Copies of this chain bind each other. A is one copy, B any other.
Amino acid sequence: MQKLATFKPYVEITPTASIIVAQHGGRAKCLQRLRRLDMPLPKTFALSFEAVHDIAAGRMPDLDRLISLIGEVPLLSVRPSSEDPDWGGPGAILNIGMTDHRYEELIAQEGEAVASRLYLRFIQTWSAQVARLDEDLYESDAAPCRATIAAALRAYEAETDEEFPQDPAVQLAGVLRAMARAWESTSARLLRQGKGAPADAGLGLIVQEMALGVGPDESGSGVMQFIDPITGRAQITGRYLSQSQGRDALTDRAGAIYLTRDPRGPSLEELCPEVFDELVAFGERCRSRLREEMQIEFVINAGQLAILDAVKVPRSSRANVSVVVAMAEDGIIERSEALLRIEPRSLNELLHPQVDPRRPLRPLLQAIGASPGAATGRIVFSSNRAQAMAAQGEACILVKRETTPEDVRGMHAASGVLTEKGGMSSHAAVIARGLGVPCIVGANAIRLNRRDKSLKLPGGKTLREGETITLDGSSGSLIEGAVDLLEPSTDSALSTLLAWADEVRDIGVRANADTVGDARIARDFNAEGIGLCRTEHMFFEEDRLPMMREMIFADTAEARAEALRQLLPMQRSDFGRLFEIMEGRPVCIRLFDPPLHEFLPNDRAGMLELAGALGKPLGEVQRRVEAQQEYNPMLGLRGVRLGITLPEIYDMQARAIFEAAVEAECRGMPVVPEIMLPLVSARREVEVVRAQIETVAASVRAESGVDVDYKLGVMVETPRAALKADQIAEHSTFLSFGTNDLTQMTYGLSRDDAGRFMASYVRQGVFSEDPFHVLDQDGVGELLKLGADRGRSAAPDITLSLCGEHGGNSESIAFCREVGFDYVSCSPFRVPVARLAAARAALISADR
């Protein structure tokens, strides 16, 4: 704070004054820009952060010049000016300088009604914001007059035991002190810190000559902007209200008129065509010179236009993309700047239906928004029911305590998913994001009763199966009934922006895609290939599960192979369709990964059914199901361990991949499939499976006469695999870092179980972020770097990539780029985000 000491406590905003955002705030700087653009701005002064801080601390600076101003101009207003407008600040206070004396003068000039309105407004604002009295101290139903003012002054005196201040200097000092202190209150500080403000964020104040907006001839105030804030389309919107001040035109919709000619009523364009033209010209000047779509606050005083303020138009993400692309196309900004102006995360809003932010809704409950977008549908409590509803073309919301791999089809069928347990990285959250299905998790406050199919909400309300709810996976709120949703953008602006991103970025973007649907989305979003095709979901299909179980129950390698032989044609067609959709782009297939018990029933009914299907006694089925249980399935017999222990599974999968590749070759669209081994922790695991797969390749080559080519690589997801990446790289053409599991193992933390304490951990600052959400560059990142370096040291041409949830995250992408990865792979719906984030990372790094 000491270096601010050289700044004057306040300075008049002139084109040449020294106004600095970090000392006077953004509004002060913006006002100076408006002045430089020759906008008709009233006299304006900016108080520095330091001065305001002093005022809050009880050290009132010398305000002589400002006080003398009160004699020169009718009245003053004070508005906040923080470094970032998002950080909030105290409300503006208008009409400072209104005293009994000035009241009488104003009555003489403008009449009793106008003068009384201004005085009453000031008394009310002062009482609420400076004297901190009860808001309903003054009746305000009737039009104010002398009697109202007298009553208000009496009420003020009765409440405070003091006369209403009659010295303008005292009024100004009081206003400044109140606003300074409001900024430094604990609640305001916490609120802005929540929006990313530093602990010592400063507040500047703008003291401005009032343009009254009331008086003779046409006087009034209004707000004007040049785009639709939802779509971003060019369109003049806003309101004007005669004989008004501040933002009255926006709150008093009844009296306000349109700006442009409108069949629905009168307009400013008709009322004051010159002023309107002037405003339009100012707007255009703002756009081209401030390089931003501004919302202009203006006043007409006796037919004369005054511009009081201009702020960036508050807008949806979709509008933001349109605006930015339009400005770049108009040559106002560079394409690179367009890319840098869009926060990649904000694209999520464009890709999914959204709850209309303009309609305030009271949610039934608030939990963790785990997969963006909104959906309306009927409540169902099981995946089977969800599939049945979907089959009838009926939208539904799947509500479960938590989801398991068996629910994936149900989640696919549902329009939205709500779970009682879990966090950002729970099964439901991860899968929903992958599927692009809106999802809320961690709704701990609900009580699910599956027996009577009901859902008890915290307030005591109960929802039943079949009732309609709307789920907002962006905000995490659950809303009763159906709600109008904003459909995803079909503007070309997004694809234009992403095309520009592709020109700039220097790291590839692939998609994680397991199904035909995923693959289509991936291709439509221009993913450069599939970076991770998980094959386990393929075995949960209703027609395959029985064969899978037969395989698990097989007693010999031959019986296992026999069961798997039935799955082969299905698996081949799975891969064949993916190859077809991806049109020759690379497809990286991860071999079977999960523990086998995920495929077995866990209740008596399911086991009884299975016993019947297998023709085995229930006792044996129970015993063998039990034998498959694991203490820590995440750390058990899965991945390559399963591939080595029961080699028939990988043999079948490799054969399916190679045969599908042969078919693709014969269709004239050759593909070089990539085969990825999960959960590797030692070099020898790769050697063993590699030999096994090469044998299968050789026999498919011999049978088909086609020289099947393929790449074999490793998913690096154990810390040991990262440490031994040099040894592993000797047998791999690529290493793909699976940061989900790698994070779990590096922290010793299961993402499914982390939900129980992660939120409080982050809130307490024990972890700065949820490492499943934001890549832990410090810890997990070191293993990534180390793995990449060691991998390259052994095999300089090895392809390096990151797959998993973090692949769609901007910080992770920048990190991967710096570590020199070839590509990232993320959920199909995050591909646009990743393309933009990759471009931004390249631009930011080039700028350094």
**Which residues in A have some Cβ–Cβ distance to B below 8 Å?**
630-637, 641, 644-645, 679, 681-682, 684-685, 688, 717-720, 723-724, 741, 744-750, 752-754, 756-757, 760-761, 764-767, 776, 778-780, 782-783
Residues on B with C-beta less than 8 A from A720 are: 746-748, 776, 779-780
User: In the complex, which residues of chain B have a beta carbon less than 8 angstroms from the beta carbon of A634?
Assistant: 631-632, 635, 748, 750
Cβ-defined contact, A753 with B632, below 8 A: yes
Q: Is the CB of B637 within 8 A of A635?
A: no
| Contacting pair A779 B724 (CB below 8 A) | yes
> How distant is the Cα of A708 from the Cα of B701 in the complex, in angstroms?
76
Decide: B633 and A631 in contact? CB cutoff 8 A: yes
Are A745 and B761 CB-contacts (below 8 A) given A635-B635, A767-B682? no
A688 and B682 alpha carbons, distance in the complex (Å): 37
Q: Is the CB of B719 within 8 A of A766?
A: no
Name the residue on B nearest A447 (C-beta).
B623
Q: Are B679 and A748 in contact (CB-based, < 8 A)? A: yes
Query: Complex: how many Å from CA A752 to CA B629?
Result: 11
Q: Report the minimum CB–CB distance from A356 to chain B (whole Å).
A: 36
Contact between chains at A724 and B778 (CB < 8 Å): yes
When all copies of this chain in the complex are counted, the total is: 2
B745/A748 in contact, CB under 8 A: yes
Contacting A631 at CB < 8 Å: which of B724, B753, B757, B780?
B753
A719→B742 CA distance, assembly (Å)? 10
Contact A744 B635 (CB under 8 A): yes
Min CB gap A352→B, angstroms: 28
Shortest distance between the CB of A515 and any CB in chain B (Å):
24
Residues of chain B contacted by A782 (CB below 8 angstroms): 723
What's the minimum C-beta distance from A604 to chain B, rounded to whole angstroms? 14
Tell me how far the C-beta of A91 lies from the nearest C-beta in chain B, rounded to whole angstroms. Answer: 38
Of residues A719, A745, A760, which shows the largest number of chain B Cβ atoms within 10 Å of its Cβ? A719
Q: Are B767 and A632 in contact, CB atoms less than 8 angstroms apart?
A: no
A685 vs B745: C-alpha distance when bound (angstroms): 18
Would you list the 6 A-B pairs with minimal beta carbon distance, nearest first?
A: A635-B750, A636-B753, A718-B748, A632-B750, A719-B719, A720-B779
Contacts of A761 in B (CB 8 A): 641, 644-645
Q: For the complex formed, measure the closest distance between the CB of A185 and the CB atoms of chain B, giving whole angstroms.
A: 27
B644 near A753: Cβ-Cβ < 8 Å: no
Q: Per a CB cutoff under 8 Å, which of B681, B688, B748, B765 touches A684?
A: B765
Q: Which residues in B have their C-beta under 8 angstroms from that of A717?
A: 748
A631 x B750 contact (CB < 8 A): yes
Q: A719-B719, A745-B745, A753-B637 are in contact. Are A766 and B632 (CB under 8 A)?
A: no
Known: A632-B632, A635-B634, A681-B747. A764 touches B644 (CB 8 A): yes
Please name the residue on chain B nearest to A680 by beta carbon: B748
Of chain B, the residue at the smallest CB distance from A782 is B723
